[in-house]
Structures are given as structure tokens and as C-alpha cells.
Amino acid sequence: MDDWGGSEELWAKSIPMLKKGTSVLLFKNRINSSHPEFIKLIQQQVKLVELEPHVTIPEQFNRKIKQLYKRLRSRDYRQNYGLDRFHDQLKEAQPDLVIVAQGINFDGLIYAYQCHLLKIPYVIIAQKAVDFYWPYPTDRDYMKKTLLHAKQCFFVSHHNKTLTEEQFGLRLENSQVVFNPIKTKVNVLPHPETSQGYKLACVARLFIIDKAQDILLRIMNKKKWRERPITLSLIGTGLDEQGIKDMANLLALDNVEFLGFHDDIENLWRNYHALLLPSRSEGLPLSMIEAMSVGRTVIVSNAGGNADIINDGVNGFIAEATEKDFEAAMERAWQLRDRWPEIGTAASLHITNHLPISPETDFANHLNDLLDEL
């Protein structure tokens, strides 16, 4: 649905590092060719193909009639216009390798399955896995085949890989963990002054199911948090923006503000003391890694790969994604606020020692190795 997101950064930034002479064809349901990131791709000679371009109402009607006829003939109710177009374009292009970039761990497997049917090599990227969202029983068979026949299944955390194996009841020997590029340098920024209070930021899409900003609003509504010298900035946009704003207005939260989308993350953190991220589901949140990389204290939930990174009270604070538990983590952090510069420095050092300098280069190397083997 979105033009661009953090899930796109890994494959997009790897393109310049692919083997010389490699041409790239990008498929997406809708493409905003005026978006800065797509302009960059066009400048790199990437060919863009819309799978579901805007059409007139009569054309939409004809498309639906054709789709209904096709579904009845094939008895495959997973088919849709974009998927059919992808299959046909893929069959014509016959690429050496297909990268299927998913928002979660199985929402794009129907596209990867087309590669399997056409005997075209493919890899799968999963940017998230959700404990409470499992594949439908009717889809499990083709999804299992698709995962097992991939040249490689890439996950952004060990948690996501393990959860995917549990959800499908199989071991993915053809899988490995990769990391996403970040927008900050690993460099501890000076800690902001606290004489005017503490500025906390929640840097995340405004999307309640995943990011759980509602938990933060309920906590900030409590008497002790209202009375403390704290301001919480919600930084980002998303589907639930108006709903979250309405909730904040209902609670009359004068200690919460909405600042919209910010692209210059490193400069943003010069003015904030800590990150709050109570996510219900994650892969490995870039906002956490970016905040840690510049020496900021992070208070996050035990979602996705967060527990692989955070040592509670040492390089950050971690809690379950519930109001009670997350508030307890916030309270632990508040009581140790004089140590936030020290905790932030430990966080930055952890990123230096445990995460690759250039994840996009590592990913491109994986792809180049696969291309050499084909």
C-alpha cells in the first residue's frame, strides 16, 4: 500500500553492487514514479512495471469479468489481476533470479510460487513474522513448497526465522539472517541538555497493530507521567494517524505531540534523549538500531529480534508489549536516567561489534554468489 518503506532499503541499496552488466526489473502493484526513491531506481536504469495500474471504470469492469472467468476455469481463487500479470511478465522475461521482498513472512509467497511453477530461481526476504498471524490452512501446502524450493530465505532476525519454521512445521536449511541498512552513522552524538526536561521519541509508522502507540498514550495519561518533565513526540505517518490523534485528543495529552515523517534521522536524535517503541510485532526495527547507533537509550518491547540486541539495563531496556510491563520498563529507565549517556554509549558499541557496516553489500554478495552458481 505504501510507496516506500524500510522494507525496501535492503534490495534497493544492493542494486549498485550487483555484478557488472546485471539488469533489474522491478514489479510492484502501484508505482509512484515521482517518489524520490523510484526516481533513483530509474536513474540506475531499473525498469519499473506496475502490476495493477490505474484504469478507467469500464476497464476495471472488464478486468474483473476476465478474472472471474479465469478463476472459475482454474478453480484457483488465489488468482488476481496483478498476480496473473506478474506470472505472464515473468514467463516472458525469464530472469536469471527473482527477489521476492515481503512485508511479513508469507504475504508474498504466492508471487514466489509463480517462480517455482515457471522453474525460475528465486530468493525470499521476510521483513517481519507475527506470533498471532499464521497462514491459512488452504495456503499451507503451496507455501511450504515455495519456502523449501527457494534458493535462499532471508530473515532480518533469528526470532523471525524460528517463528516461520514453527508456523510451517519445517526446518529451513536454505535460510539465513541478514540486516537492513540504517540512515545513521555509528557515532555517539552529544547527549542533549536536560534542564528543560526530557524529550522522548517514538519513531515508527502510525500503525497500531504493529507499533502499538496506543500503549504509550495510555501510559502518558497516568498522573505520574503527566507530572514528570517529559515530552513524547510521535514521529511518522501511517494508516492509523487520525485514530491515534483522536485518542490523544480524547485524553487531552499535552505531553504528546505529532511531528510527522522525518528523513534526517541522525539530526533528529541530536534533540532527543531516548526512544520508546512498544511494538506488538517486528522484524528488527530500524528505528531501534538507528537510535542505538548514535548513542541513545532505547526502551523497546520483546518483539521480533529485539531480545537478540538488548541487554536490559545495560544497553537499553526491554519489556513485553503490554501497558503494565512496558510502563515498568519505562519506570526502570526513568530511575536510571542519569546513566542514559552511559547506556547509550554501550548501545552504540554493541551495534559496532555485532552488526555489519554495510548490510546492503553483504546482501549483494549473497546475490552475486547465487548468480555465479546458476
Give the domain ranges of the chain.
6-181+358-373, 198-354
Question: φ and ψ at 115, to 5 degrees?
Answer: -65, -45
β-pairing, 47-50 vs 122-126, is unpaired
Query: What type of residue sits at position 274?
Result: A
What are the tens digits of pLDDT across the range 95-147? 999 999 999 999 999 999 999 999 999 999 999 999 989 999 999 999 999 99
Q: Say if 6-181+358-373 and 198-354 have the same CATH topology.
A: yes
Q: Looking at residue 75, what is its pLDDT?
A: 47
CB 284, CB 156: distance < 8 Å = yes
Q: Looking at residue 80, what is its pLDDT?
A: 77
For residue 156, give every residue at least 6 positions away whose Cβ sits within 8 Å of its Cβ, in sequence order, or none.
Answer: 126, 127, 128, 177, 178, 179, 180, 283, 284, 304, 305
Q: Looking at residue 272, what is its pLDDT?
A: 97
CB 84, CB 67: distance < 8 Å = yes
Three-class secondary structure of residue 41 per DSSP: helix
User: Could you tell me the fold of the domain covering 6-181+358-373?
Assistant: Rossmann fold (3.40.50)
pTM, two decimal places: 0.86
CB 173, CB 300: distance < 8 Å = no
Question: φ and ψ at 221, to 5 degrees?
Answer: -80, -10
CB 301, CB 328: distance < 8 Å = no
How far from 199 is each of 39, 144, 168, 202, 255, CA to CA, in Å? 35, 46, 43, 10, 10
Choose which CATH entry (3.90.230.10, 3.40.50.2000, 3.40.50.10280, 3.40.640.10) describes domain 198-354: 3.40.50.2000
Neighbours of 118 (CB within 10 A): 14
Q: Looking at residue 53, what is its pLDDT?
A: 83
CB 125, CB 106: distance < 8 Å = no
Residues in the chain: 374
CB 201, CB 268: distance < 8 Å = yes
What are the tens digits of pLDDT across the range 326-346? 999 999 999 999 999 999 999
Q: How far is CA 360 from the centre of its chain?
A: 15
Which stretches in the chain have pLDDT values below 50? 75, 77
Please, how many CA atoms are within 13 Å of residue 304, restricted to the half-sphere of its CB? Answer: 29
Query: What type of residue sits at position 149?
Result: H
Distance CA 322, CA 324 (A): 6
Sheet containing 297-301, strands listed edge to edge, beginning at the edge strand earlier in sequence: 256-260, 230-235, 198-203, 274-277, 297-301, 317-319
Three-class secondary structure of residue 56 per DSSP: coil
Provide, for the chain, the percentages of residues in helix, strand and coil under a 3-state DSSP scheme, each rounded to the nearest 5. 45, 15, 40
Neighbours of 30 (CB within 10 A): 13
Query: What type of residue sits at position 169?
Result: G
Query: What type of residue sits at position 249?
Result: N
Distance CA 324, CA 215 (A): 9
Q: Which residue has the cell 541487554?
A: 311
